[in-house]
Structures are given as structure tokens and as C-alpha cells.
Amino acid sequence: MSILNAVKLGVKALAGVIFDDTDTFTDVPSGVAYAQIVPLTDKEFSGFQKLIYEWAGIYMNATKKALVSGRLMKRLRHYNFSTFTQYFDLVKDGKNADEKQIMINLLTTNETYFFREPKHFDYLREKIKLRKQGETFRVWSAAASSGQEAYSVAMLLAEEMGFSGWEIIGSDISEHTLRIALGATYPIEQSAQIPEEYLKNYCLKGVNASEGKFCIRPEILRNVNFMRVNLNEEMPKNLGLFDVIFLRNVMIYFDRQTRQHVVERLAKFLKPMGNLVIGHAESLHGITDKLKALKPTIYAVRTDTESR
Ligand SMILES: C[S@@+](CC[C@H](N)C(=O)[O-])C[C@H]1O[C@@H](n2cnc3c(N)ncnc32)[C@H](O)[C@@H]1O
């Protein structure tokens, strides 16, 4: 018996599913939907790998093949395509801007939560005390995902400074996550990540149709703006300078060269006493001489006279 047949029989025995000679299901359990499995060839994977690197700077090695095929499969179904090559041909020149954005949305990993890596918030609390009077305290959440990082910072700033004198910009390449960020409404389970005092002061619990959700108070939203920024491209003009830039848990998706370019670009947006904050799994070791480490994962602008 061939291995394939043995596998088929095993599956048949387990699931009560019968295969015919052409490997298609002839009898599926009622109420269960099945779709054709479309294999992603190595050549097709390498095409998508190049595109997402070119567009977003995201480097996906071969271990990401299943992820790419799983996430892009939705688009094959949407267009009724039977191969990944058909989808690749649709997006490859980047001229179909909507589909390009959808592919970026699908291939980015957006995991985030409120008050992630609490030491950074302790640092921020200390830094606010040293702020220049009369100057707006500005923070940029540069890979903001669905907004939890920006709103965590906002709640902390509101607690320390009230509702004025500060401003936050959240940006991301994924328009899907930015829409969630702008909505400022989250499943109630996520409220457990927020310190009780902040929850009470800066969040509202959904009732009736909004049962099971909570949202961020309008007074906070006034000082938080979101925009689409691709860190792998020229930065928008007129962003101004920031006291703190959060660049957390995004560089893990970049290769060394992209990290270097992104950090050099962002460093230009720091005030002279500004800080760049990265994720705990990340490092700037050997990446730039424009910044110096203050503490693990927190960097400051190096002055011209400081030795490298
Ligand atoms: C894992 S999330 C990190 C969210 C948040 N900073 C945190 O630490 O919880 C990474 C985010 O980086 C974004 N991203 C990936 N490549 C990007 C790029 N080239 N430009 C801007 N954002 C990017 C993704 O869309 C995703 O939302």
C-alpha cells in the first residue's frame, strides 16, 4: 500500500470521510464546510516573499510558508482563483493599490496589548517629570497596530498631566489595524490588561448593543491621532519632533539592513533629549551610532561630543 493510501485510510477511519480515486471528498459530515486545498509552491512562496520585503521590509524565511499560504488563501477564495500564481499576477506590479494593501494587512502580524512591557511605562512616568514646562510632550507609537500601545501611553499621560499639554501619534502600515485603533473600542476581556485606576478614569464600559466591549474616553481621543506610515519608505514631512518614539516589536520582522534604515530615519524625529524605545526581544547593537543605550531597550540621542 502506498503511503498516500495508508494516510487516506487513516483519515477515513478517523473522520468517517470517504475519498474517491481523484482525492476529492465524496462524502463529508453534514454541517461541515470543506474547501479545496491549494498548494503554495516554493517558487510562488519566493515571489510573495520578495513582494512583502520590497513593500514593507518584512523578511519572511521558509518557516513562514504555511502562514503565507493560510493567510492568502482567503484572497484565492475571494477571486475564485485555483492557484497562488493567479493571485501573484494580480498583485505583483503593485498597481492594484487596494489589493496590495489587503495583502499587506494579511501578511503583517499585529499582536499587541495594553501596557505591554510595563518597565517602559515606568520610564515614561519618570521622564514626564523632567519635561520642559510650556512644551507639548509628544509621543509616537510607530508600529501602533490596533492602538493599545498608543492608548496605554495616553492614559498614563492623562494621569500625570491631565488632558492637555501632550499629544500622541500612532502609525502603522496595516490599514486594517488602524481602523480598529481609530474606533478605540475593544473586547471587554482586554480591560484586564489596564490598571484599575486608569480603567475607571479613562475607559467606558459598553452597554446594550455595545455589551461585551469597552471604549476609550473622548477626552483621551482628542490628543491621539492615527495615520498610515510605512517605516520602510520615506517618512511623511511635518511630523515634528518627539520626546519618545515607541518602535516596539516590529524590528523582529526586519532584516539588519532594514532595521538600520528604519532606525536612522526615526532618530531624526527625536528631540535632543528624546528617547527611542524598542521591544525586549530586540536590540540596536551595531545598528546605529546616532543613539546610545540608556537602559536595556531604551535609547537616547548621542551628542556630537560623546564618544562612539
Ligand atoms: C507585533 S505588532 C507590535 C505592536 C506594538 N508596537 C506592540 O509592541 O505591542 C507589529 C506591527 O508592526 C506593523 N508593521 C510591520 N511592518 C511595518 C512597516 N514596514 N511599517 C509600519 N508598520 C509595520 C504591523 O502591521 C504590526 O501592526
Are residues 21 and 46 located together in one domain of the fold? no
The domain that contains 144 carries what CATH number? 3.40.50.150
Are residues 146 and 277 located together in one domain of the fold? yes
Which range of 34-38, 116-120, 282-286 scores highest in mean pLDDT? It is 116-120
- Indicate the pTM of the whole model: 0.89
Active-site position among 116, 138, 172, 243: 172
Is 172 one of the catalytic residues?
yes
Over residues 124-130, mean pLDDT: 96
Are residues 155 and 228 located together in one domain of the fold? yes
- For residues 263 and 278, is the Cβ–Cβ distance under 8 A? no
279 lines ligand 1 (CB under 6 A): yes
- Cα(278) to centroid of ligand 1, in Å? 12
- Position 3 scores a pLDDT of 32
- Cα(11) to centroid of ligand 1, in Å? 39
Of 103, 173, 226, best ligand 1 pocket probe by most atoms within 8 Å of the beta carbon:
173
Note the pLDDT tens digit of each residue in 219-254.
Answer: 999 999 999 999 999 999 899 999 999 999 999 999
What percentage of residues in the chain have a pLDDT greater than 90? 85
- Cα(38) to centroid of ligand 1, in Å? 29
* 25 within some domain: yes
Are residues 132 and 278 located together in one domain of the fold? yes
- Position 308 scores a pLDDT of 60
Are residues 86 and 137 located together in one domain of the fold? no
| Residue partners of 114: CB distance under 8 A and separation at least 6 | 148, 151, 152, 190, 193, 194
Last residue of a domain, one of 61, 79, 107: 107
Is 131 one of the catalytic residues?
no
Are residues 88 and 223 located together in one domain of the fold? no
* 263 within some domain: yes
SS3 sequence, 265-284?
HHHCCEEEEEEEEECCCCCC
146 lines ligand 1 (CB under 6 A): no
Are residues 55 and 153 located together in one domain of the fold? no
* Grid cell at residue 109: 502580524
Note the pLDDT tens digit of each residue in 48-96.
Answer: 999 999 999 999 999 999 999 999 999 999 999 999 999 999 999 999 9
Q: Which of 12-21, 62-71, 102-111, 234-243 has the lowest mean pLDDT?
A: 12-21
* 23 within some domain: yes
Of the pLDDT bands very low, low, confident and very high (cuts 50, 70, 90), residue 306 is confident
75 lines ligand 1 (CB under 6 A): no
* Average pLDDT for the chain: 90
Are residues 85 and 172 located together in one domain of the fold? no
* 281 within some domain: yes
- Cα(56) to centroid of ligand 1, in Å? 10
Closest ligand 1 atom, CA of 58?
A: 16
What percentage of residues in the chain have a pLDDT greater than 70? 89
Residue 252, CA atoms < 13 Å, CB-side half-sphere? 12
Are residues 79 and 21 located together in one domain of the fold? no
By residue count, the chain amounts to 308
Whose CA is closest to 224, among 121, 131, 134, 151? 151
Task: With a cut of 70, say whether residue 29 has pLDDT above it.
Answer: no
Residue-number span of the structural domain to which 255 is assigned: 118-184+219-301
- Position 303 scores a pLDDT of 84
The domain that contains 103 carries what CATH number? 1.10.155.10
Last residue of a domain, one of 107, 138, 163: 107
Are residues 131 and 14 located together in one domain of the fold? no
Of the pLDDT bands very low, low, confident and very high (cuts 50, 70, 90), residue 16 is very low
Over residues 137-144, mean pLDDT: 98
Of the pLDDT bands very low, low, confident and very high (cuts 50, 70, 90), residue 33 is confident
203 lines ligand 1 (CB under 6 A): no
**How far apart are the C-alpha atoms of 40 and 103, rounded to whole Å?**
15
- Position 35 scores a pLDDT of 72
* 149 within some domain: yes
Are residues 6 and 52 located together in one domain of the fold? no
**Could you give the 3-state DSSP secondary structure of residue 244?**
strand
259 lines ligand 1 (CB under 6 A): no
Q: Where are the alpha helices (DSSP H) in the chain?
A: 3-15, 42-56, 65-79, 84-91, 97-107, 118-129, 148-161, 175-183, 196-202, 218-221, 256-267
Number of structural domains in the chain: 3
Are residues 230 and 164 located together in one domain of the fold? yes
Which amino acid is residue 107, in one-letter code?
Answer: L
Task: With a cut of 80, say whether residue 282 has pLDDT above it.
Answer: yes
56: left (phi over 0), alpha (psi -120 to 50) or beta: alpha
Closest ligand 1 atom, CA of 105?
A: 25
56 lines ligand 1 (CB under 6 A): yes
117 lines ligand 1 (CB under 6 A): no
* 289 within some domain: yes
- From residue 57, give the alpha-carbon distance in Å to each of 136, 259, 267: 32, 9, 18
Helix 118-129 to helix 148-161 angle, to the nearest 10 degrees? 30
147: left (phi over 0), alpha (psi -120 to 50) or beta: left
* 205 within some domain: no
